[in-house]
Amino acid sequence: MRPAGITIWMFLFPAAIYGQLDYDTAYIKSYRDKLVVTALTSADDSELNASRSSDNRSLDFQTSTRQQLGLGLDYKWFTLEASIGIGSKTDPLRGNSETWGFGFGLTSRKWWFRNFFRGYHGYYLGNPQDWDTAWAVGNPYPQISGLRTRTYYAEWNYTFNYQKYSNMASLWQLEKQLKSAGTWNIGITFAGSTIDNTDGPLIPTEYQGYLGPLDSINALSVLSLGLNFGYLYNWRITKNWFLSVGLVPGLAFQAGITEDLEGGQSNYRNRLSGTVHTRLIGGYNGDKWYGGLRVYSHGFSTDTTGEYPIDLSYVNVRFYLGYRFELNHNIEFFKKIGL
């Protein structure tokens, strides 16, 4: 599915888990009884870095994806967001990336879970100046149209200071952080990914000779499972303005399979790899209107040889503007479905 397709996200906030008044009202204000309508524009991008540890020289492959316009609806435990691509399908300098994705999550007072499937087909080289001295800004970027990644990523986290820190105020503004608060976070991260090139070797022939055994690989599949530990903080700048930051790194054990150009396979396991989740969110959160910018990323590393790591990351950038409507809570239909 190209970026013109529709992307749908669903996040569940069950009343049995999230509706209980188990938080400090001096720190958190809830808007869960209001209908929240959000207009947004967003972009999802992927970056794949293949590097050499001895000198940190790398190939930085990036996707060329279009902006999306979307609309979100939130009421009590129900959340739905859909978006559709806008603008030209092909960037004249960076080419085009086919993309698809689906994700859902669960956010309670103590726990939060997020997972997604995401795939990209078609990358361009983001640092051509490091490989071609004749390349200049304004020239087309080298395109690797056959490079493809498919990933499933999941993280399950526990929030320690859940009575004063609001994850919902940070991510979705369905609540408001009345006083600045932070929390330590611990969890489990799982990632599974397949990386290949439908047009030939994983590393294009024109860039071979620097990355050792990666030159002979046609495809790579990896699984990793590990622990993460980090810190999240909501800063109340003024009455309605806020900044939310988070850094949650982790270590994971990894196993994988590489396939060479002749179809032969090699297995590896018990390799130590890294994962990271970051967030930077800022904006305005009033009682009626709210809006802001959210930058949210996930990443993990693979290292099939011990010297030539491949790092894969996903970034979502989201501008949003929303309004909260009062509803008649005595509507019979809403009562029947628990709203």
Q: What is the pLDDT of residue 77?
A: 67
Place of tokens 């032969």: 264
Contact 197, 147 (CB under 8 A): yes
Q: What is the pLDDT of residue 18?
A: 47
User: Which of 95-104, 243-252, 262-271, 305-314 reaches the highest mean pLDDT?
Assistant: 243-252
Helix (H, G, I), strand (E, B) or coil at 162: coil
Question: Using DSSP, how many helices (H) and how many strands (E) does the chain show?
Answer: 3, 16
Amino acid at 186: I
Mean pLDDT of the chain: 85
Q: What is the pLDDT of residue 141?
A: 94
Quote the CA–CA distance of 126 and 86 in Å, as a whole number.
Answer: 23
Please count the other Cβ atoms lying within 10 Å of the Cβ belonging to residue 209: 9
Instruction: Find, among 47, 45, 48, 46, the residue nearest to 68 by Cα.
Output: 45
Contact 158, 186 (CB under 8 A): yes
Average pLDDT of span 113-130: 90
Q: What is the pLDDT of residue 197?
A: 92
Least confident of 26-30, 33-37, 97-101, 312-316: 97-101
Amino acid at 145: S
User: Residue 322 pLDDT > 90, yes or no?
Assistant: yes
Q: What is the pLDDT of residue 236?
A: 96
Contact 46, 120 (CB under 8 A): yes
Average pLDDT of span 266-285: 90
Q: What is the pLDDT of residue 337?
A: 56
User: Residue 56 pLDDT > 70, yes or no?
Assistant: yes
Instruction: Find, among 128, 130, 104, the residue nearest to 116 by Cα.
Output: 104
Q: Find how far residue 88's CA is from the centre of its chain.
A: 24
Helix (H, G, I), strand (E, B) or coil at 22: coil
Please count the other Cβ atoms lying within 10 Å of the Cβ belonging to residue 7: 21
Determine what percent of the chain is predicted with pLDDT higher than 90: 47
User: Residue 6 pLDDT > 80, yes or no?
Assistant: no
Quote the CA–CA distance of 185 and 194 in Å, as a whole number.
Answer: 29
